[in-house]
Chains A and B, each alone.
Chain A
Amino acid sequence: MLKYIMFFIFIALVLVFPSSAHAYLDPGTGSFVVQIIIAGVAVVALNIKIFWQKIKKLFLHFFKHNDEKQE
């Protein structure tokens, strides 16, 4: 699941990433840009995962709480 989330964010980022040009980059610069994008996507995906787990936990906690009340 995380893999797909990452992939979609990634494609979205690639689309917005500017490709306009005036001067040639040294080969290292391209690598810097790419790793920053990938790292950005990975961090966003990680945050979504953590956020999702929190929500899941909250719901579980809520239902569990209700169950206990019914008992």
Chain B
Amino acid sequence: MQKKISSSFRDPSGFLFLKNKILYRQINFFYKQHYDYFINSGLFKLLVEKKLLISHQENTLEKRFSDEAYKIIQPELIRFISYPYEWCFSQLKDAALATLKIQKYALEHGMVLKDASAYNIQFVKGKPALIDTLSFEIYKEGEPWIAYRQFCQHFLAPLALMSYCDLRLAQLLRIYIDGIPLDLASSLLPFSSFLNPSIYAHIRLHARAQNRTATNANRSFFLSKKGLFALIDNLEHSVLSLKWKLKATEWGNYYNQTNYSIEAIADKKEAIRTFLKNINPKKVWDIGGNTGLFSRIASTWGAETVCFDVDPAAIEKNYLEAKASQEENFLPLVLDLTNPSPAMGWANRERSSLQERGPADMIFALALVHHLVITFNIPFSDIAEFLSNIGKSLIVEFVPKEDSQLQRMLASSIKSFPGYTKENFENAFKKYFLIEKEKQIKDSKRIIYLMRKQ
């Protein structure tokens, strides 16, 4: 049984395919010269050592998908594929810097990146790394950088928009699969952003040049190697000059958001630890995980943990913490649970939906269900069904009406939600899950459950 992976069809150099549930990459004869150079020049070894590229093992040609095969390689597996529209500001910035670093190393070895797609970067053990081994080609002195525009569209434009306008504009990447069009970025950016000469040049002037006409479209262009290095340096400075910071006072709110006493937090953490031991999950998704206080119980315990939250500022804080403490099995991502990442791209198959990337062994839905019911009017049964589709087991918290936070939420709502009871909650979830354990959190009215999918 073999099947092509639908995200890798554009490049004639090769593609990914699954054979007996193992992922392989076929390298076509078309790419032979570049691949051999890539390996023999030492670039492959260097990038893998620097953790800027995933490693691979060469396999026998018997595994080939088609006759065009020159080599078959088995790439290192990525634990969770994430997309640029799910990254926070610093994740996109680090991915951009990694791409430029790779391009510099490539140039030093006589090669060049032929594409600079943000989708070719994944977070591997907490660090951005290139996953497409076929992104390199032999550099010919004088050739301009073919991936320059793609770099600006995938990285520089969204970073500038997030930095100068609004963090939420990163979501434009979800609409424009090949990065934000530069004319659109240019028209959205405020005048002040163009006082930054690099942003003016790489975005505004670049956008104008694309619409401009020339006397001779067929004329050849020459860019010296020194010039190309200077361009990459300049792009690096431009990316580094873009910053996003929340005011210190606003950060404080993230610590004070929970409705728990110290004793209650400790008890909740202890309950989560016990439940984790019961299930022994390898992959955990914490949905609505905010700054990752509870997700980190799973990651430090040893599970591959992804922490999703709708708030890009919380994820930014979360990522910076993970980066500072070099957490390898923890990945924070921006996700609106009421409208999760869909399947998209060509034939809706290039980028997978959240559900297609699951199921996780365990889902954390802590202090979440009441938000979905009261703020978004989603019935218990629909929540239970969705959670059963993305996870094999579940730690879920029920916040009763007597809870002070819920009282505040109800006071500002027109509806009274008479169906919001513990009994209805349990009955709805019992349709999809077996309730294995139930625990009242000390010094709190909240209840935490361990459930297993039926």
Chain A interface (Cβ < 8 Å from any Cβ of B): 3, 6-7, 10, 14, 18-40, 42-43, 46
* CA–CA, A40 and B224, complex, Å: 9
Nearest 5 interchain pairs by C-beta: A21-B213, A39-B227, A30-B209, A42-B230, A30-B210
Contacts known (A14-B205, A39-B223); A23 close to B149, Cβ less than 8 A: no
Q: Which of B42-50, B104-112, B214-222 contacts A (4 or more CB under 8 A)?
A: B214-222
The residues of B that contact A29 with a CB separation of less than 8 Å are 214, 217, 221
9 more A-B contacts (CB under 8 A) besides A25-B210, A39-B227? A21-B215, A31-B152, A33-B209, A33-B214, A34-B202, A34-B206, A38-B231, A39-B230, A42-B231
B213 in contact with A23 (CB, 8 Å): yes
In the assembly, what is the distance between CA of A27 and CA of B148, in Å? 12
Q: Are B217 and A25 in contact (CB under 8 A)?
A: yes
Residue pair A36, B144 in contact (C-beta under 8 Å): yes
Given the known interface contacts A24-B217, A31-B149, the answer about A43 and B205 at a Cβ–Cβ threshold of 8 Å is no
**Chain B stretch 215-245: residues in CB contact (< 8 A) with chain A:** 215-217, 221-224, 226-228, 230-231, 233-234
Contacts A3-B197, A7-B197, A10-B197 given; does A35 touch B217 at CB 8 Å: no
C-alpha gap A18/B234 in the complex (Å): 23
Q: Indicate whether B39 reaches chain A with its CB closer than 8 angstroms.
A: no
Q: Which residues of B, 57-76, contact A by the 8 Å Cβ criterion?
A: none
Cα of A43 to Cα of B225 in the assembled complex, Å: 11
| B230 in contact with A46 (CB, 8 Å) | yes
Number of interface residues of B (CB under 8 A): 32
Q: Report if B164 contacts A (CB, 8 A).
A: no
The residue from B197, B214, B215, B223 contacting A35, defined by CB atoms under 8 A apart: B223
CA distance A23 to B215 in the complex (A): 7
A-binding residues in B (CB < 8 A): 144-146, 148-149, 152, 197, 201-202, 205-206, 208-217, 221-224, 226-228, 230-231, 233-234
CB < 8 Å A-B pair total: 97
* Residues of B close to A28: CB separation below 8 A: 146, 149
Which residue from A3, A7, A10, A32 sits with its C-beta under 8 Å from B144?
A32
> Assuming A21-B212, A33-B214, is B149 touching A27 (CB within 8 A)?
yes
CB pairs A–B below 8 angstroms (16 shown): A3-B197, A10-B197, A23-B216, A23-B217, A28-B146, A29-B214, A30-B209, A32-B148, A32-B223, A34-B205, A35-B223, A36-B221, A36-B222, A39-B234, A43-B224, A46-B230
User: Which residue, A10, A22, A30, has most C-beta atoms of chain B within 10 A?
Assistant: A30
**Bound-complex Cα distance A35 to B230 (A):** 10
Contact B230 A21 (CB under 8 A): no
Contacts of B223 in A (CB 8 A): 32, 35-36, 39
* A40 engages B221 (CB within 8 Å): no
Residue of chain A at shortest CB distance from B241: A3
Q: Which residues of chain B have C-beta atoms less than 8 A from A26's C-beta?
A: 217
Q: Smallest distance from the beta carbon of A20 to chain B beta carbons, Å?
A: 6
B194 to chain A, nearest CB (A): 11
Most buried by A among B205, B206, B209, B233: B209
B225, chain A: closest CB distance, angstroms: 10
Report chain A residues within 8 Å CB of B145: 35
Partner of B209, one of A6, A7, A31: A31
| A31 close to B213 (CB less than 8 A) | no
CA of A27 to CA of B208, assembled, Å:
11
CB distance from B160 to the nearest CB of A (A): 15
Roughly how many angstroms separate A3 CA and B200 CA in the complex, as a whole number? Answer: 13
Smallest CB separation, A53 vs chain B (Å): 17
Q: Of all chain B residues, which has the CB nearest A40?
A: B227
CB <8 Å contact, B217 and A43 = no
Complex: A24 Cα to B216 Cα, angstroms: 9
Q: Is the CB of B233 within 8 A of A24?
A: no
Interchain CB contact (< 8 A) of B213 among A25, A38, A46: A25
- On chain B, the residues within 8 Å of A19 by CB distance are 212
Specify which of B144, B214, B227, B230 is in contact with A25 (CB 8 Å cutoff).
B214
Distance A36 CA – B221 CA, assembled complex (angstroms): 8
CA distance A51 to B45 in the complex (A): 38
In-complex Cβ contact of A38 among B146, B201, B211 (8 A)? B201
Q: Write the nearest CB–CB distance from B22 to chain A, whole angstroms.
A: 37
Candidates A14, A21, A38; contact of B234 at CB < 8 Å: A38
Task: Determine how close the nearest CB of chain B comes to the CB of A39; give it in whole angstroms.
Answer: 4
- Shortest C-beta distance, A2 to chain B (Å), equals 10
